Amino acid sequence: MNLKSGFLAAYRFCSQPQVWPWLLLSTSILLGIVSALLTWHWLQRRQGRRPNRRQPPKKTPWHSMAAEQVLSELGSSLQGLSAAEAGERQRQYGLNRLPEIKPRSAWLRFIGQFHNLLIYVLLVTAAITLSLDHTLDSAVIVGVVLINGLIGFIQEGKAENALRAIRNMLSPQAAVIRDGTQNTIAAERLVPGDIVTLQSGDKVPADLRLLKCRNFRVQEAVLTGESLPAEKQAGAVEQQAELGDRLSMAYSGTLVASGQATGVVVATGVATEIGLISTLVAKVESLTTPLLKQLAHFGRWLTGAIVLLAAATFAFGYFYRGYPPTDMFMAAVGLAVAAIPEGLPAIMTITLAIGVQRMARRHAIIRRLPAVETLGSVTVICSDKTGTLTCNEMTVGSVLTAEQLFAVTGVGYNPHGGFQLQRQDIDAEQYPVLRELARAALLCNDAALGEANGTWVLHGDPTEGALLTLALKSGLEISLEQEKWPRTDVIPFESEHRFMATLHHDHAGHGFTYIKGAPERVLEMCTKQRRNGEDTLLDRHHWQQRMQAMAKRGQRLLAIAMKADSDQMRNLNFADLETGLTLLGVVGMIDPPREEAVAAVQQCLAAGIEVKMITGDHADTAEAISAQLGLDTDGGVLSGHQIEALSDSELQRAVVDINVFARSSPEHKLRLVTALQANGEIVAMTGDGVNDAPALKRADVGTAMGKKGTEVAKEAAEMVLTDDNFASLAQAVVEGRTVYDNLKKSILFILPTSLGEAFVIIAAVMIGEKLPITPVQILWVNMITTVTLALTLGFEPSETGIMRRPPRSPTEPLLTKLLVWRIVFVSVIMVCGTFGLFLWEERHGETIEHARTVAINTLVMFEIFYLFNSRKIENSILNIEGMTGNRFVLLAVVVLILFQLAFTYLSPMQHLFGTIAISAREWQWIVAVAFSVLPLVEIEKMLIRFVKANHAGNIQRRNGGAK
């Protein structure tokens, strides 16, 4: 048939009146889909372009300016603003709160579930079948689409709430001085220039430049990542100082740990540091996962192939074979329905949900379903230090006396642990100076430590909590010692004199004064040292040399001394303590790495996953912790100011070799994650503070801490670790790899069935036969039998050695050459068996319904036997574990056989699907033919293993020869 006659035939076909309704219907549906796509795209663009009403002003280095200059710049004074001036500034700067971003509506999220090319093909197919009066077929197709959409909508989870969580961190009230009078107002009414007073327990209501401080310390871990509260001062600091070193500033959302202060508001709302993080979180775009990218690419490729194949089949049957157009449209519809794996979205969703449940048992809560699979492809884990790799609980790691350096075991405030000398356990009672130092640490202390529900809880300063734990490890009882040596007087710690002193008397009147403080300050006050139970002349050079070595290990040092001749003293005076003290020792404290985190880091490194530490803490502390974790620090430590000096391309090169990044701000963390992703890495980021939120959102798998993590971090993350343990992340990677393996197995199982059905229809058209399977029967196979069986592969356990293989490449296609070959190979087997039995039954005089019933049951039995093959992609299943290792497989086989018996023999099912009862003889043929797929695929696996082993052996021999 030439081209001209083909066009004439097409024109005659389109001119038929009975064809016009479905042409108009299909055209209107296509136009509706295009309109929906354009509307969807416009809404997404509009939502992304929505501007902030108020942009944060240019940042001023308030921390480096003198207090008088700051007040002058802001037009304020210690008497505060007038009510009129405050009102005017309120109109200028707006309320001291962060803008609330309206989340995407549930309707838009539901519509988004149908934004998929395969779904569009199914909808057009449903429209065509409806126009041809095949109402049942059309209803089943639409039902399948709606079911998939509902599953996706339900599993998508709650919308992004990170910005709302940040807003909730702001203080509700503030003590402000206006018109010379102190009042309490709503914190959202603060304006730049307001004078604010703070005391212990307050939440800082805005960014403040401090004017006066008294023993003022602020817990800033949520912004800087530092374990210890920062000691603040009123004096200016260097302009280049990092956020954690700006001691003259107090930032919105942080918590006052002790002392009092007065400060002037320099920034409110989005202009604060926490507001800048809010802006960063709003700007950061969450990345799609590798699997979703692959599925989108696969969907486009498959859609194009299906449309071309259906069109070619229609053209061949109508123009060459002379089939009626209606019959050929039904054949094309059948082919499209057969080739589209309708159950794949449901299988993917449910397999991911199974992974979610497994991870929950391992203390990892998944907030966004696709993150499960992404974990399996992670190539780099960027981890915050404080609270993630470490406990966020200060611990005394060593005690230096004049004679020995003791190591202290145990982590955190839990007093399980003890003392070691030259790596040998010792009894603290055998060393009087160690015992006396522990008593001094206990008594010169304002903290309280207690056990609640199996967890040791600190009330007070983390440093003092670490000292109480040290005393408990030495065998002292807190309440007993406090009762035995009650406190008579105290000089509290203040930054001006940098020590704390307490006076104690026992019930017989004997008195002691204990002092703890900064080593350099306490050493100035000491003239003696305790050695061999006696007080000897202080050897300053010895102490300074040993303390320098402790500081290089990242430990924070605290000196402890005493004054024995205090029997007659009833009050402490600075003059009495300036000299004549006896130095007991120096303790070295650090927030140590979790013991299980050390093992987890090594497990990740063995699995080919790089681990990088990104922290706001000091470089020496970060380097010391990384060494204990076993991270490679040969590349050195990159600090925040060095990161700022690098361009994006320079940073991309730097992140390859450097594993430790210190003094990192939220912007730095975000740049580091982005740089790694630009290098093609799949990045997991862990963190617990507000400062981690932008990087958590940007990362492929943001992971927040569940116990001590802020709500901001949790809402920005895809996953939350309920035990705050890095080791749980390593276990989640195992589950992620298992989920991806199981998804591949499901795809490897589903696609041969879909292609087999399509090729059966094509073969029938090619040789001029009736369709062996109707469209509605195909939907039964695809959505009932195939999904039922494929679901069981989601319960497959982890493969042996799953964490000894490298992460899969992000560019690796979903269907590798091996999988494509397997799909084609199995499809050919299924086509030959199914179509062969269909022709056999027809040639022996059976009705078309009888032959189709045999064909559809043959296809299902092929699936049952091939399901066992699919449990292992390359390894053999011809063993006990391979045949019975997944009880869900056996259960599904039983359920499916019952389904097929109902499908074949129940009258309502026969009416719905066009089947009839068949005899036992037909079942024998069906089982015998379908069983062939199991040995054939196992032989193919054996050949593949042989070829791979031979290839690996050749490479090994070549490498050996080269050496």
Catalytic site positions: 384
Containing H/E element for 207? strand 207-219
Torsion over CA: 831, 837, 843, 847 (sign): negative
CB 666 within 8 A of CB 277: yes
291 vs 297: CA distance, rounded Å: 10
599 vs 605: CA distance, rounded Å: 10
486 vs 495: CA distance, rounded Å: 26
903 vs 908: CA distance, rounded Å: 9
Q: Interhelix angle for 920-931 vs 933-962, to 10°? A: 0
How distant, in Å, are the alpha carbons of 127, 187, 325, 329, 626 from that of 317? 21, 76, 9, 10, 69
25 vs 30: CA distance, rounded Å: 9
- Bridge-partner residues for 151, per DSSP? none
**Half-sphere CA count of 251, side-chain side, radius 13 A:** 26
Task: Tell me which residue of 691, 681, 683, 676 sits closest to 729, measured CA to CA.
Answer: 683
φ and ψ at 186, to 5 degrees?
-65, 135
Containing H/E element for 209? strand 207-219
Entry field: residues in the chain: 963
How distant, in Å, are the alpha carbons of 364, 367, 369, 416, 732 from that of 357? 9, 12, 11, 33, 11
Lookup result for tokens 């040292």? 529
Q: For the beta carbon of residue 419, count every other beta carbon within 10 angstroms.
A: 24
CB 311 within 8 A of CB 765: no
Alpha helices in 574-707 (DSSP H): 574-577, 595-606, 619-629, 640-645, 648-657, 666-678, 693-698
Strands 511-517 and 556-563, by their bridges, are antiparallel
207 vs 263: CA distance, rounded Å: 9
Lookup result for tokens 């107090």? 250
**Burial 654-678, CB ≥16 within 10 A → b, else e:** bbeebbbbbbbbbbbbbbbbbbbbe
SS3 content of the chain, % helix, strand, coil (to 5): 55, 15, 30
895 vs 903: CA distance, rounded Å: 12
Determine the distance from the C-alpha atom of residue 573 to the mean position of all C-alpha atoms in its chain, rounded to a whole number: 54
96 vs 102: CA distance, rounded Å: 19
The encoded tokens of residue 502 equal 């307490």
Containing H/E element for 188? none
**Cβ partners under 8 Å of residue 136, min gap 6:** 776, 912
CB 925 within 8 A of CB 837: yes
Torsion over CA: 332, 334, 337, 340 (sign): negative
How distant, in Å, are the alpha carbons of 94, 186, 196, 229 from that of 177? 19, 13, 6, 26
CB 642 within 8 A of CB 662: no
